[in-house]
Amino acid sequence: MRVNNVTQSTPKRSLRRGRIFPELTSTPEERARRKAEDEIFYRRCRAIFERVRPDLISEHYGWYIAVEPNSGDYFVDEDKEVASQKAHEKYPNAVHCMFCLNETGATGRI
C-alpha cells in the first residue's frame, strides 16, 4: 500500500494592509503641533539646566538631573531612576526632562 505525501493546501486569507489602529492615526498638522510643543518644553527645561549646571557640575559630574519646568525645580542624583523618582514624588502629574551633569547634558551613549 502506498501513501501519498501530498499536503492539503490551506485556504488563502486576505492580506490586511494598513495601520493596526487606524482611529489613532494623527494628521500631519497634529504631528507638527506636538513636535512644536515638545520643542518648547525641551527649551524651557534646557534653560533651567544651563542655569544650574555650572554650580552642580563640579560636585556632581556625571550625575543626573530631572528638571520640572513649570516650577523650575530640579532633582539631582547619581542614579537616573532615583532622580526621576524624586521628581515624580513631588510632582506626580508633571512631565520632567532628564539631563546628565556633563558638558553636553546628554544622558546616553552612542
Q: What is the mean pLDDT of the chain?
A: 86
Amino acid present at 8: Q
DSSP alpha helix (H) spans, 1-104: 28-57, 80-90
Cβ contacts of 89-95, under 8 Å, gap ≥ 24 = 94/68, 94/70, 95/41
For residue range 25-51, list pLDDT tens digits in order. 888 899 999 999 999 999 999 999 999
Question: How far apart are the C-alpha atoms of 51 and 72, rounded to whole Å?
Answer: 11
Cα Rg, the chain, nearest whole Å = 25
